[in-house]
Amino acid sequence: MLVPGKIILDHAFHNHYAVGAFNANNMEQVQAIIDAAAETQSPVFIQVSRGALQYSRLIYLRNIIQAAAEEHPEIPMAMHLDHGNSLAVVKTAIGLGFTSVMIDGSLDESGKKALSFTDNLAITQAVLDYARPRGVSVEAELGTIGGVEDGAGVKRILVTDPAQAEQFVQQAPIDSLAIAIGTSHGAYKFKEKCELQHSVLQDIHRRLPTTPLVMHGSSSVPAELVAIVNRYGGQMPDTKGVDIEQLQSTIQQGVSKINVDTDGRIAMTGAIRQFFAEHPDKFDPREYLGPARAALKAMVAARLIAFGAAGNASKIK
């Protein structure tokens, strides 16, 4: 069933687990995510970026996600706009029936330049004023996460300032805050092992003890999934992600939503490459998208279990 994101986030926050948030661009991805959530009995966020909305031509992907909610009414699910970059984009998503939106006021609309604290606060407040009367949950971002997603992003990570985070939420009472403590978008996140800034996270949680926090750029880029891609003709050298153990350690410090996108892309790409290597005579999309869907489902289920979300679906009323 489709529910406001706040309902899921509040349950995760108060019960010390994190809901997995997974990006989707097509039917197979939506099916994999909801099937994994149903198998593990987990609440879930299905996220759609503005690039995905453009790719699917808006209403198609919306309808697929709504069909998933109807197929599994026992699973609390938020249909979430990921990295909305303007009030216009947010209005479009809400008009389509999204139950949760993110306004990424950390960057300007081009996605290439950091916005000031004041400008971020202003656009976030405008989104709150529009979304709240319509029962839609709002996520904002403070600080900048490295890497690139949908063509937007900055190379330098700007770690969230805890004092600014406290001021931001006091002035714009959002439902969740995405913070930057060392994660990064993409498959080539780091030159060395990721070391999250736990002291910053702890300070933010101390200052905002009732605000669910969100981790973007949290794919683990598992070596075994990358190995499948490379074994069957891919070229993905020197990939590095965020260890599952590090992600798990943030949950007790207020992180209630963990975003995973790159891992899903790698899982599906590896399955498709393997299929064509083993069946060069095949050409039916159903035959290679089926294994891709299964690979994504397995990855999503593993993350839902690791984040502690498994078994919580029936507990959310």
Cβ-based neighbours of 282, under 8 Å, separated by 6 or more:
275, 276, 288
188 pLDDT higher than 50 = no
Please tell me the least confidently modeled range out of 51-55, 161-165, 180-184.
180-184
Dihedral sign for Cα 5, 308, 211, 262, please.
negative
Torsion angle of the four alpha carbons 197, 201, 207, 213, in this order, in degrees rounded to the nearest 10: 150
Predicted local confidence at residue 155, as pLDDT: 55
Buried b (16+ CB within 10 A) or exposed e, 119-142: ebbebbbbbbebbeeeebbbbbbb
Please tell me the least confidently modeled range out of 55-69, 149-163, 253-267, 294-308.
149-163
Which comes out higher in pLDDT, residue 220 or 67? 67
Largest alpha-carbon pair distance within the chain?
Answer: 60
Q: How far is CA 132 from CA 21, 88, 176, 178, 201, in A?
A: 21, 16, 13, 18, 27
pLDDT in tens, 143-181: 877 655 555 545 566 899 999 999 999 999 999 999 999
Phi-psi bin for 153: left (phi > 0), alpha (psi -120 to 50), beta? left
Task: List domains and CATH numbers for the chain.
Answer: 5-214+246-259+301-315 (3.20.20.70)
Place 112 in a pLDDT band, splitting at 50, 70 and 90. Answer: low
* Token representation of residue 52: 């995905």
CA distance 200 to 284: 50
The yes-or-no answer on residue 35 being catalytic is: no
54 pLDDT higher than 60 = yes
* Token representation of residue 269: 């790409």
Place 274 in a pLDDT band, splitting at 50, 70 and 90. Answer: very high
297 pLDDT higher than 90 = yes
Q: Are 124 and 84 in contact (CB under 8 A)?
A: no
Average pLDDT over residues 211-217: 94
* Alpha carbons within 13 A on the beta-carbon side of 128: 17
Cβ-based neighbours of 106, under 8 Å, separated by 6 or more:
114, 115, 120, 141, 142, 143, 144, 145, 158, 180
Cβ-based neighbours of 283, under 8 Å, separated by 6 or more:
none
108 pLDDT higher than 90 = no
Q: Which of 10, 82, 108, 263 is catalytic?
A: 82
* Token representation of residue 63: 């309808």
* Token representation of residue 72: 């599994």
Average per-residue pLDDT in the chain? 92
